[in-house]
A and B are shown apart, each in its own frame.
Chain A
């Protein structure tokens, strides 16, 4: 990290016309109000979020046991679901994110609990009201409630869970139907959405949960496909991911002209090679690591890094060959990577700028 001062950063932002001088008081007020407030780490926030979900499920059990709501009745569930969703929105918007830490904590957690309860009841009620053979009702119900609440309920963790639920259940339903083309199309759409939203510099904060949800869905799909035996199960995903990796290299280099140098051409060729030799999880891991590093996004970088050993494990476990052949492939791959490293070192590309 550099020693640049905050005033200099603001100065440069004004000169680049990314903020106006009139924004400065708002920025100062925000800094002062937030001063000394550390955000809790994503792991801690996730654990707390899980606590709220558990509470929501307990309340659902309470409603059923007390016979206030009959969980076998579609109309009860749909009505109850809508009421709780509306209540959640009212609680959050009426009190907002203003106020002290205690008030904020109480309001956001209660609102989150009400929303979780409402959505679960609505989706289950929808499925009971419109039963379908393949469970499409659950997806449609979840989609309706996600789209309708997304602009109104601005707790990003809840938005992320909601969107991820829709995408992941959609994936498993399509897999159930054995519609390989749709599975691959779904992955392509998710990759495009993630790429557009995450890399586009003008993406608003409200849409960031969608990017994380698409990443979650892509990870589930990639792991599932990688675990399937046989190359054809993941060849199309490999092609999509390899193309994404090449596009990413070009984007990060700053355009095709700038990407036409030896190291980047080699990197692109390796990406193409990986499409035929590797599994989706490994390619997805590399994409996420690159994107996370480029955009200074630690969660994406960490997830990408953590995916790599999982990908390698899945790949070599499912490889239909002897342990001896697997060991040769592993050692050969490792040696190739070390040769790549030696090349970078030889070209002095690993010198800190």
Chain B
């Protein structure tokens, strides 16, 4: 027991199995995490919520009909805000969180500026150009900020640019390949992120970023697979299905054996099993009447069976993966 890694999970496990009381659990957790840094925590909450409120207010301000305000005033106020935020960011320095937050806020205001620019000049440009320009303009700031939140915002903007381009301007093939393009783009970023973390970029090491990216990629891969199973057999569907298969296989093997993340393996496994079930249902549809008892029983039995299989498999994997980590 001397070598036991003591953490919240061990304490929670003891409590959930009624080996220690709730009071003992709280006591142990307070010993493990003794610093109730209320001041620091409240300070950070106020910073994030305050900045979000101000940004939202500015966006509402831009949505308002500015008939009575001249374009010069509109542009001047936003540019002034951007320069002020850049100045504050420089003043506090990018080593501090507040400096990074100011730079992030300036990045968001760049998008507001572009939107107002489009509103004033009525250029008739498609919405995707706004997001594309926004993403390209703020990329240098995002890179130098070394701030995970900035990258998340940038990824959202870039993904929106891809979606809007596909929907608004893209040809039929581009539109059909939208999810495939999103898979490729986000997977590329995930690869770069993992590579950067392995080579010292600790600010990207937050598991939240990995989880967010993986969930997004798996959702896109899931959609392409389902489209292939229940849709037509167009080229885009084949490409999407192929990418989906590749994503599931790569995620499983990389995060099972190399990077060891049970969350990614779990999500990938569950997605794969649901796709498998969808495929079986599609095949069954060809041979069995969906109103028959055979059909309903088979689906129920298969769903339960796959859920049990997933639970057992994932729990065993989790145990193996943690053992190999020690």
Chain A positions near chain B (C-beta within 8 angstroms): 1-2, 4-9, 12-13, 16, 18-19, 23, 26-28, 30-32, 34-41, 43-44, 47-48, 51-52, 54-59, 61-62, 65-66, 101-102, 104-106, 108-110, 113, 200-205, 252, 263, 289, 293-296, 308-309, 312, 316, 322-324, 326-338, 340-341, 344-345, 349-353
Contact = CB atoms under 8 A, between A and B. Distances in A.
Contact of A344 (B39, B63, B65): B39
Given A331-B58, A349-B39, A353-B37, A338 B27 contact: no
Nearest to B10: A31
B19 A105 contact: no
5 contacts: A31-B1, A54-B303, A55-B307, A65-B296, A101-B316
B64 A324 contact: yes
A41 B266 contact: yes
B4 A327 contact: no
Interface residues of B, number: 89
Main secondary structure on B side of the interface with A: helix
Contacts of A341: 43, 46-47, 50
Nearest to B274: A51
Contacts of B323: 36
**DSSP majority for the A interface?**
helix
Contacts of A204: 18, 21-22
A350 B39 contact: yes
Contact of B43 (A4, A40, A349): A349
Contacts of A61: 296, 300
A109 B313 CA distance: 13
A62 B297 contact: yes
Nearest to A50: B307
A331 B14 contact: no
B61 interface: yes
Nearest to A106: B308
Contact of B35 (A37, A113, A352): A352
B57 A331 contact: yes
Nearest to B303: A55
A1 B32 contact: yes
A161 to B, nearest CB: 15
Contact of A205 (B4, B22, B60): B22
Nearest to B53: A334
Contacts of B7: 1
